[in-house]
Amino acid sequence: MNGAMDLSLWQMAASYLFIVILLIIVKTRGISREREILISSVRMTLQLVFTGYVLVFIFENPSPLLTVAVIIIMEIFAVNNIYKRSKNSLSRSLKRIIAFSMVSGTIFSLVYFLLVVVRIAPWYDPRYFIPIAGMLIGNSMTGISLGVNNMVSNMYTQRLLVESALMLGATPKMAAKEITDTAFDSAILPTINSMLGMGIVFLPGMMTGQILSGTSPVTAIEYQIAIMMGILGSVSLSVILFVQLGYGTFFNERSQLVIEREEITE
Binding site for other proteins (CB under 8 A): 160-161, 163-171, 174-175, 178, 254-257, 263-266
Q: Which is nearer to other proteins, 189 or 258 (CB)?
A: 258
Tell the smallest beta-carbon distance from residue 182 to other proteins (Å). 11
- Cβ-based burial of 5 (10 A; exposed 0-12, middle 13-18, buried ≥19): exposed
Tell the smallest beta-carbon distance from residue 263 to other proteins (Å). 8
Half-sphere exposure of 157 (CA within 13 A, CB side): 9
Half-sphere exposure of 13 (CA within 13 A, CB side): 3
Q: Which is nearer to other proteins, 182 or 194 (CB)?
A: 182
Tell the smallest beta-carbon distance from residue 222 to other proteins (Å). 43
Q: Which is nearer to other proteins, 6 or 262 (CB)?
A: 262
- Cβ-based burial of 43 (10 A; exposed 0-12, middle 13-18, buried ≥19): exposed
Q: Which is nearer to other proteins, 128 or 247 (CB)?
A: 247
Conformation bin of residue 56: beta by default, left when phi > 0, alpha when psi is -120 to 50 = alpha
Tell the smallest beta-carbon distance from residue 93 to other proteins (Å). 18
Are 151 and 109 contacting, i.e. CB atoms less than 8 angstroms apart? Answer: no
